[in-house]
Amino acid sequence: MSDLTQEIQRRRTFAIISHPDAGKTTLTEKLLLYGGAIQTAGSVKGKATSRHAVSDWMDLEKQRGISITSSVLQFEYEGYCINILDTPGHQDFSEDTYRTLMAADSAVMVLDAAKGIEPQTRKLFKVCAMRSIPIFTFINKMDREARDPYELMEELEKEFGIGTYPINWPIGCGQDFKGVYDRGDRKILSFEDSHRGQSRIRAIEIPLEESEAVEKAIGSRLKATLMDDIELIDGAGYDFDLDQVHAGKLSPVFFGSALNNFGVEEFLEHFLKMTLSPLPRMAGEEIVDPFDTAFSAFVFKIQANMNKAHRDRIAFMRICSGKFTREKEYYHVQGEKELRLAQPQQLMASDRAVIDEAYAGDIIGVFDPGIFSIGDTICEKGKNIRFAGIPTFAPEHFASVERIDTMKRKQFEKGIEQIAQEGAIQIFHEPHTGFEEVIVGVVGVLQFEVLEYRLRTEYGVEVRRRDLPFEAIRWVENEDLDFHSLNLTSDTRRVQDFKGNDLLLFTSPWTINWALDKNPTLRLREFSEN
């Protein structure tokens, strides 16, 4: 087996998704703790201690205690090289999560044991289902009062239309939570809450057949309940089928408490055995094999000003095949030119290390002088493959944004353009007006607040925002269309994006239907391919 094959086979690249406050960032941090990437776990909200979650690096995230941007985290664990994509938990940033899922080979879905499936979880699951991404479920916060585990499993199956297979089973919940039962090894994993999850702990392992030891660890009442549960889950439910897991049809389910580290290491070990090394990718009609020696990658995220001292822009790339070498020239397909990828880095949130090589499955960040866009392909010279673009979905909220200080035009234009290139916002203007009046479209209203915050702190520009009454936007597919001849409602507005594409802004679904009914040749679409 070649060194290239070995390196790629040990890669595992996955995204962690959840509804806000389900404990996703805490679980991410505890995986890093067990991987040895950090020595002491911090606090997500940052109030009890001065530490913040490793993956939350933007100041606004630290103030609010939520993940706004996607972070990339790499660490080693028992021979595996693990790339975690920690996604925004807030629903207003679902498009950033969608792009991140395009770079992952599997997903870990974190649920709150007391709440079960919430709206954002439902939305993210649909994205995974679209790509048949394998989904692993971690039901978190068992150290608090929780819903019945059978009820939670049934909800998963009913809501998502997939099978579930509990890899472990909880022993009690809340103050009575004693640990979990490992079904595969038929043993009790008992935990003692002695340090509130600040450092690694090992479970006390007790084989199920050691009846007295089990009863001593969890008590006679919980033991009786557990024996009934084992009989029921062994006799009913789905059989475990790894092929069904890989096809996204069966979700392995784990119970635990990320805050207290209960079940985290067991989850990580099982997950790494079940999940796959990097998967093939489609580039048009061509299947790109990750073990192909020719390097290829695509850009799925751009982030400006990660390092305030340098005011830099980083393009995040998912390597799809072969090996990346630092000093080598590669071909930028969309730019149609050869280039060296400057300052190639692997990342631990905002901490970065320049690297000389990386392999299929890895996520690398490279310096972007403003030439990359989301969805771009980079490959070996002469290969000229092109990965499918990442769709840009229609925003749902719109506002007019203008600078207060008219002398800061350049800073305003640079800030708006750079933040738009990251995909956090979309910007439009009326034909022939440029940046005089910028219309900003976002998926969720919190993105307006982030935009204003970043323009102020990163570019020194204060802005005035005026919310607009539009609810929908559509890209116009017709070429050379005479807009003056269209029969539209008086509150429908024509705009362009900064690539020159024509779009229509609508105040309601009714006005969209009017436009289509009154103009039979008009063709509209809800998203744009980058």
Top CATH class of 3-93+106-177+239-274 equals alpha beta
Where along the chain do its domains lie?
3-93+106-177+239-274, 281-379, 391-529
Which residues 6+ apart lie within 8 Å of 348 measured at CB?
Answer: 37, 54, 73, 74, 75
pLDDT value at residue 389 = 73
pLDDT value at residue 70 = 45
The stretch 452-475 carries a mean pLDDT of 92
pLDDT band per the 50, 70, 90 thresholds, residue 46: very low
pLDDT value at residue 65 = 45
User: For 426-440, how does the pLDDT look when each residue is reduced to its tens digit (9 = 90+)?
Assistant: 899 988 776 777 999
Per-residue pLDDT at 51 exceeds 50 = no
Within the chain, how many helices (H) and strands (E) appear?
13, 33
pLDDT value at residue 101 = 83
Token pair 């930028």 in the structure block, residue: 332
pLDDT band per the 50, 70, 90 thresholds, residue 199: low
Comparing 257 with 499, which gets the higher pLDDT?
257
DSSP letters of 393-434?
Answer: EPPSEEEEEEESSGGGHHHHHHHHHHHHHTTS-EEEE-TT-T
Token pair 């305003």 in the structure block, residue: 412
pLDDT value at residue 4 = 94
Per-residue pLDDT at 166 exceeds 90 = yes
Top CATH class of 281-379 equals alpha beta
Largest CA distance in the chain: 85
| Percentage of residues in the chain having pLDDT higher than 70 | 85
Burial 280-311, CB ≥16 within 10 A → b, else e: ebebeeeebbbbbeebbbbbbbbbbbbeeeee
Helix (H, G, I), strand (E, B) or coil at 528: strand
- Side-chain half-sphere CA neighbours of 263 within 13 A: 27
pTM passes above 0.85: no
Domain 391-529 has CATH 3.30.70.3280: yes
| Percentage of residues in the chain having pLDDT higher than 90 | 48
User: For 399-418, how does the pLDDT look when each residue is reduced to its tens digit (9 = 90+)?
Assistant: 999 999 989 999 999 889 88
pLDDT band per the 50, 70, 90 thresholds, residue 47: very low
Question: Which residues share a beta bridge with 18?
Answer: 110
User: For 211-227, how does the pLDDT look when each residue is reduced to its tens digit (9 = 90+)?
Assistant: 999 999 999 999 999 99
Mean pLDDT over the full length of the chain? 84
User: For 327-378, how does the pLDDT look when each residue is reduced to its tens digit (9 = 90+)?
Assistant: 899 999 999 999 999 888 876 544 667 889 999 999 998 988 888 888 899 9
Same fold, 3-93+106-177+239-274 and 281-379: yes
Angle at 263 between CA 260 and CA 269, to 5 degrees: 135
pLDDT value at residue 91 = 53
User: For 282-304, how does the pLDDT look when each residue is reduced to its tens digit (9 = 90+)?
Assistant: 888 889 999 999 999 999 888 77
What is the torsional sign of CA 212, 216, 217, 218?
positive
pLDDT value at residue 490 = 94
The stretch 237-242 carries a mean pLDDT of 86
